[in-house]
Amino acid sequence: MSQSTGIIRDDLYKEHLADYPHPESPQRLEAIYDMLDSDDIGKRLLLISPRSATHDELAWIHSRSYIERVALTDGVSHMSLDPDTQTTPLSYKAAILAAGGLFSLIDKIFDGTVRNGFALVRPPGHHAERDRAMGFCLFNNVALAAMYAHHKYSIKRTLIVDWDLHHGNATQHSFYTDPKVLYFSTHQYPYYPGSGGLTEVGHGDGTGYTVNVPLSAGQGDSEFFAVFKQILCPIASAFKPELVLVSAGFDTYAGDPLGSMKVTPQGFAALTRVLMDIAGEYASDRLAMTLEGGYNLTGLRDSVRAVLKELMQESILTDSDLQTLESGTAPPIVDKVIQVQRSYWAAL
């Protein structure tokens, strides 16, 4: 088993919305890539070349008519697919390389080249519905990755953890009736996109395989840590995922212009450690993260660095950081989530 951590990066990801004013800007990846080039951790990460997702692969999650609609933006100077979601000439190519980049990372995890990794891609994905672009997202990268692992590696239980500030409406919808994928989301609520209420738990065979933790504004490291420890860990130990995927958004960072949470780089590192423990216990360490939101460039850079350090087992966390995290109190919503989810998860 390899001990290394892989990253997906490519300059094409910076071409989406190049020279177009938007909070989901190329400068986000520039801040991360510049950090990797100037920091010695960049040299110790394995750079994996991304490939593009095919239309047949995109059709696991999206309708053919929607895929065609996005493909038609290729080379077009500017299109608006949704009030928040625009394209520029290379957006379509960047979007299929974002989804496919996650497939390339998963291949390297399954062939043992790396033990885990982070797809540093854009556009993000978790709001992209079957039939429409939404919330800065074109194709649902993380949902497509779960389908890829299922089709290529016969994975029957994938855990998707979504710690972005916003609820991943489209990831939830993609697997709402599907027990192969357990979707766990922490998000500010009520807030954009409006979904992610406590009682949205899945439907039919998927009942209990959607776990929403709707949080009030102002939660920080210890509250998120308590949510992960008290809700996610018991459920994951019962579900026993064969693969852990993460919609890693950094708009919960303290100081993000879009959100009102208070998570710090240490907090993201601690959440990563919890996920690595779950992946180590049940999934042979298989853990793949993909970038979603995060709009404070300094916060994004420092938080991604902390997460990468954790993935590389070079943690920035001190014993006193961990003591502070462990001694925090859980937000009141934790009891309410447990009451709802206890019907499906006896371990709670």
Upstream peptide bond of 179 is cis (omega within 30 degrees of 0): no
Asked if 259 interacts with Zn ion (CB under 5 A), we say no
Give whichever of 93 and 166 is closer to Zn ion, judged by the CB atom. 166
Asked if 249 interacts with Zn ion (CB under 5 A), we say yes
Asked if 24 interacts with Zn ion (CB under 5 A), we say no
Are 90 and 129 spatial neighbours (Cβ–Cβ below 8 Å)? no
Give whichever of 23 and 328 is closer to Zn ion, judged by the CB atom. 23
Give whichever of 124 and 208 is closer to Zn ion, judged by the CB atom. 124
Asked if 165 interacts with Zn ion (CB under 5 A), we say yes
Asked if 115 interacts with Zn ion (CB under 5 A), we say no
Element (H, E) at 186: strand 181-188
Record the tokens describing residue 304, joined without a space.
């991604």
Asked if 125 interacts with Zn ion (CB under 5 A), we say no
How far apart are the C-alpha atoms of 64 and 15, rounded to whole Å?
A: 25
Q: What angle do CA 103, 117, 87 make, to 5 degrees?
A: 55
Which of the ranges 3-11, 110-118, 145-153, 242-250 carries the binding residues for Zn ion, by CB under 5 A?
242-250
Confirm whether 127 is a catalytic residue: yes
Catalytic residue among 127, 166, 167, 173: 127
Long-range contacts of 151-154 (CB under 8 A, 24+ apart): 151/60, 152/103, 152/106, 152/107, 152/110, 153/106, 153/110, 153/243
How far apart are the C-alpha atoms of 71 and 311, rounded to whole Å?
A: 35
How far apart are the C-alpha atoms of 91 and 284, rounded to whole Å?
A: 35
In the complex, minimum distance from the CB of residue 318 to Zn ion, in angstroms, rounded to a whole number: 29
Element (H, E) at 81: strand 79-82
Are 239 and 194 spatial neighbours (Cβ–Cβ below 8 Å)? no
Name the residue whose CB lies closest to Zn ion: 293
Q: Which of 178, 146, 151 is nearest to 162 (CA)?
A: 146
Which of the ranges 38-46, 47-55, 136-144, 241-249 carries the binding residues for Zn ion, by CB under 5 A?
241-249
Give whichever of 189 and 282 is closer to Zn ion, judged by the CB atom. 189
How far apart are the C-alpha atoms of 346 and 339, rounded to whole Å?
A: 11
Give whichever of 160 and 317 is closer to Zn ion, judged by the CB atom. 160
Which of the ranges 48-56, 183-191, 203-211, 293-301 carries the binding residues for Zn ion, by CB under 5 A?
293-301
Sole binder of Zn ion in the list 166, 173, 187, 262 (CB under 5 A): 166
Which of the ranges 22-30, 161-169, 193-201, 310-318 carries the binding residues for Zn ion, by CB under 5 A?
161-169
Sole binder of Zn ion in the list 164, 256, 302, 310 (CB under 5 A): 164
Asked if 293 interacts with Zn ion (CB under 5 A), we say yes
Q: Which residues bind Zn ion (CB under 5 A)?
A: 164-166, 249, 251, 293
Query: What are the catalytic residues?
Result: 127
